[in-house]
Amino acid sequence: MAPSQYRYTSGQDNWNPGAGSAGYAAMPPPYSRLPPSASERAPLLAKSGAEGVHFPVRGRTARLVILTTAFLAMIWCPVYFWRFIAVPPDSVPTYSVAIIGAGPAGVAAAQHIRTSPAARYVRFNITLYESKHIVGGALALHHTNESSIFPKEDPMQDPITAEDIAGTSLMWDNALFTRDSEKVLKDEVGFIDMGPEQIGYYKNTMKTASTTHPYEKMPMMTWLQLLWTYGSSVWQGNKLAQDGNLRKAMLKVPLVPDVEGIFNSLGVLKAVKQKARDMLRDRQISDRYAIDILEPQVQRACGQRLDQVTGLTAMMAASRQESANVYQGGNLIERLQRIAHKVSADIRTSRRVTGIKHVEIADDRFVWLVRHESAGGGIGNSSVEVFDKVIVAALNIGIQLETGNQRILDLTKHYNIRPMDIRSSPTQVTFFTSQVKLSPWNHDEDQVLFLEAWRAAGMRELALVREIMPNDGDNSGVEYLYRALSRLPVLEELRSHAQITWSYQTTIENAYPLLFPRQHFPSFELPAANGLWWTSVIQQAGSSVDLNWLAGKIVAQDLIREVTKG
């Protein structure tokens, strides 16, 4: 039988067989992978490669957008409506808090109250009272119009700052404040190494010793001379300064409302309760080294004699002297001011609080009445405001405090503290410029400490702050900016030793809290009535920017705990 022949007709549903070749196309050739030839009228069967399954791009994108939107909605909706479901705005308890003093302790308290996670469901209205014209505390120097102090009244010069009083390492030494300020202000404080500095120890105009700080950068000849004079006390004195450096420990101390617990966490509770002389004897530091080196350091740091203070005070004084001008960076007062404004507190500068009264306005409902007046004085400027809680963040023992039928003129009676245990002493700060370095002191020395209060004025320190280039037209050369710390004004005494071209002097009240050894410490919160805290209780044991900052955080945490525990 002859093979069948087929023909494909376009538009038909089947192949039509034919019995021959007449009228029909020839049988198609076998399938070939080669391209069609020129004589081929139409491609026959084409074999394509395996093709994947493709979804439309537009549909796939739409599904992705829908899934993403649904996922974000699942997260965003509960967060958005949580504040209305969990804590209705009308049910959030609100407390008014007065903070008296806008130094490190007061600003720390305001900042912690505002930002602590424990206060998430409590609203606080914070009022910050400060008797000075600006925020910053004792080290904030300014004119009465709040303007900065410029050497030679020249705005082209760097203004005088807290670092010019306490030393360029002020913020480096106070690591807790520096770290917390970086978190709040979302920045980073950079420090530069200032290199070693020469310190001379004098009795009036006679040099008795010379050292270099920091210890590890001391020249060999200076070190050998100290070793020859004081023996192993040189090593022990350096160890004393190292033990007084609380930078790392301050970063780890818990917020416990207990003074002994704080210093126990810092590892220095024994030194707080011990006399400095007893501690030096235990460390085998000679009396000669104590008198020649440590005594001037303690007087410069806290305004007291070595025989009066605690072991911790001597340790911290030696540590501050070791690092006072080794590093430079940051501006303490400027950062305190930025933090104070960031916490959205009602800041009342130039207002002096004169009285606090605890009164009952309903059954078991007590409030505090705060009386304040203009720091500049005047008649009829006194006001009274009502607060739920009060934090006294200053060494202001002159505030009249009333609780119940008691009316006492200072806080010490209410805290069962002897007035002598919480006293403080002022200091005179004098800045001046000279066209030449001072004589008869050594020109190579950056700082001079006096073994005894120099003459009747009681000068404790004379230090070169920096060189300046005045723009007054009268002098085109370099001048030298000096700082003097003293018990009384010393400007006239200095004029006999220097040709002074400009000067500025002021008194820092409550500059030095008097630190005596004691075995027991009161609580931060007033024993007689809840709702009032005093941060300066910590200054019975030690004083620094970091300790005051820590005290402010502690009382703020205790306040938050008290209002949320019920």
| DSSP one-letter string for 218-236 | --HHHHHHHHHHHTTHHHH
DSSP class of residue 307 equals G
Provide the pLDDT for residue 347. 96
Please say whether the beta carbons of 434 and 500 come within 8 A: yes
Rounded CA-CA distance 157/232 in Å is: 45
Residue 8 has pLDDT above 50, yes or no: no
Rounded CA-CA distance 20/10 in Å is: 20
Provide the pLDDT for residue 3. 44
What would the 3-class secondary structure string for 473-484 be?
A: CCCCCCEEEEEE
Please report which confidence band the pLDDT of residue 25 belongs to, taking 50, 70 and 90 as the band edges. Answer: very low
Q: In b/e form, how buried is each residue of 219-257, taking b as 16+ CB within 10 angstroms?
A: eeeeeeebeebbeebbebbbebbebbbbeeebeebebeb
Read off the pLDDT of residues 55-82 as tens digits, 9 standing for 90 and up.
454 556 767 767 777 766 676 555 554 4
The three-state secondary structure class of 280 is: helix
Identify which of 327, 329, 328 has the alpha carbon closest to the alpha carbon of residue 217. Answer: 327
Provide the pLDDT for residue 92. 82
Read off the pLDDT of residues 277-306 as tens digits, 9 standing for 90 and up.
999 999 999 999 999 999 999 999 998 899
| Beta strand segments in 136-237, E | 192-193, 197-203, 206-213
| pTM of the shown model | 0.82
Lowest mean pLDDT, pick from 34-43, 47-56, 243-252, 541-550: 47-56
**Same fold: 91-134+332-422+517-564 with 193-324+424-513:** no
Provide the pLDDT for residue 399. 72
Read off the pLDDT of residues 138-192 as tens digits, 9 standing for 90 and up.
999 988 777 899 999 999 999 999 999 999 999 999 999 999 999 999 999 999 9
Provide the pLDDT for residue 219. 93
The predicted model gives 329-357 an average pLDDT of 94
More confident residue, 245 or 207: 245
Residue 433 has pLDDT above 70, yes or no: yes
Provide the pLDDT for residue 300. 93
Rounded CA-CA distance 547/536 in Å is: 10
Please say whether the beta carbons of 294 and 316 come within 8 A: no
Angle at 396 between CA 148 and CA 343, to 5 degrees: 60
The predicted model gives 509-524 an average pLDDT of 85
Lowest mean pLDDT, pick from 100-104, 418-422, 463-467, 493-497: 418-422
Largest CA distance in the chain: 145
Residue 346 has pLDDT above 90, yes or no: yes
User: What's the CATH class of domain 193-324+424-513?
Assistant: alpha beta
Read off the pLDDT of residues 76-126 as tens digits, 9 standing for 90 and up.
555 554 444 444 455 788 999 999 999 999 999 999 999 999 988 899 999
The predicted model gives 40-50 an average pLDDT of 48
Please state, in angstroms and as integers, the Cα–Cα distance from residue 390 to each residue in 123, 411, 529, 550, following that order: 15, 13, 11, 17
Rounded CA-CA distance 27/7 in Å is: 7
Rounded CA-CA distance 345/37 in Å is: 92
In CATH terms, the superfamily for domain 91-134+332-422+517-564 is FAD/NAD(P)-binding domain (3.50.50.60)
Please report which confidence band the pLDDT of residue 223 belongs to, taking 50, 70 and 90 as the band edges. Answer: very high
Read off the pLDDT of residues 359-418 as tens digits, 9 standing for 90 and up.
888 877 889 999 999 887 666 688 999 999 999 998 766 677 776 666 655 666 666 666
The domain spans of the chain are 91-134+332-422+517-564, 193-324+424-513
β-bridge mates for residue 192, sequence order: 328
Task: State CA 450 to chain mean position distance.
Answer: 32
The predicted model gives 36-43 an average pLDDT of 54
More confident residue, 476 or 234: 234
